[in-house]
Structure 1
């Protein structure tokens, strides 16, 4: 029971840092600025649902995809670690890539599609999050997989709450406060990324 609890905490913490609900508050507000409240609600619900479903699918089907493309778990750990490290650097140095997604979202003819791109993909269920759920669910039993699913659901409940209370949170945190939280999480994400890379390299070398 203790091992399962520790695993759940690890899964939840990893996904929370990668998906970064508090740090994405400014992005969500920028993309939905000036929209009708009902439209914002629909975009939020659609984005969180799509993001959660994508990750849950990869919890159970991730291995099948890897086998189809002949990808080893060690390679996925190394590649995923590198991608997550890039994401952490991007957050630390001002989210330049996310600014591009925001501009694309603002110019979209179909505003409702913002829920799919860039919110659900790639902000809330990007390569880092997908890699994380595949790695977390690899080599664990059904209970472990269900704990990863529970972690995914809990993180997306928090994402939805940050959308609902985004205006209030921004008033409390301010843009600088939100940026500080995002950068602290980015440092933790960078450390987790390095662990993924080292673990993948050591496992690969040991198997030779």
Structure 2
């Protein structure tokens, strides 16, 4: 039997952390000026890479962090600082430079650290610790898969919005996305600092 309580808990927790709705304006701003085919590929690649990162950390996360002597607050702080840099570029209108430099916004910043960020990674690692039979394993696995399906749907169907709002709307969305990203980044760093002060780092 499937552990439906754990399944709902995994899905709701990841939904709040990964925020498919809040991802839409950021996705639109990062893919503006690109073709519809590119945006569709970016949505698929971002979800695929995010899923791979989440699964990798679910299986090997604790060993990776222990081997590299990295604490969870340090990982969270690093993700927050990276998001803050991207947010500043969106707010100041320089977002085209990093996208052309990296060549693929689907991997950075969409897949990581935006989707598969420290919060999602830590949450999944904690849920994995609760797996003790097939039912709990299935619940965690289905919850993670369902969450990534929601992320893909949100980004995939944001493309008609991009065509509707045109260039002026994209500019507005880009600024809003920058503001949202900066708030997320500051919160990540603040939580990390709080954890360091509490002696968890």
State the TM-score, normalized to the length of structure 2.
0.69
**CA distance in structure 2 between the partners assigned to 1:74 and 1:198 by the alignment:** 19
Gapped regions of structure 2 (runs ≥ 5): 132-136
Q: Deviations over 1:4-51 (max 9, x none)?
A: 54553331232238x833023233123x1xxxxxxx343223222222
Equivalent of 2:152, from 152, 156, 161?
A: 156
Query: What corresponds to 1:20 in structure 2?
Result: 23
Shift of 1:54: 1.6
**CA distance in structure 2 between the partners assigned to 1:98 and 1:76 by the alignment:** 31
State whether residues 11 and 143 of structure 2, in contact with CA within 8 Å, keep that contact through their aligned partners in structure 1. Answer: yes
Equivalent of 1:78, from 66, 73, 76?
A: 73
Shift of 1:122: 0.9
**CA distance in structure 1 between the partners assigned to 2:166 and 2:13 by the alignment:** 28
Structure 2 CA distance for partners of 1:45 and 1:200, relative to 1, 3 Å: farther
Structure 2 CA distance for partners of 1:59 and 1:26, relative to 1, 3 Å: closer
Shift of 1:177: 4.6
**CA distance in structure 1 between the partners assigned to 2:196 and 2:67 by the alignment:** 10
Equivalent of 1:51, from 39, 46, 70?
A: 46
Structure 2 CA distance for partners of 1:123 and 1:192, relative to 1, 3 Å: closer
State whether residues 15 and 147 of structure 2, in contact with CA within 8 Å, keep that contact through their aligned partners in structure 1. Answer: yes
Gapped regions of structure 1 (runs ≥ 5): 33-39, 106-116
Give the CA RMSD over aligned residues.
Answer: 3.7
**CA distance in structure 2 between the partners assigned to 1:120 and 1:13 by the alignment:** 21
Structure 2 CA distance for partners of 1:156 and 1:182, relative to 1, 3 Å: farther
Q: Where does structure 1 differ by over 6 angstroms across 4 or more consecutive aligned residues? A: none
State the TM-score, normalized to the length of structure 1.
0.67
User: Does 2:90 match 1:104?
Assistant: no
SS at match of 1:138: helix
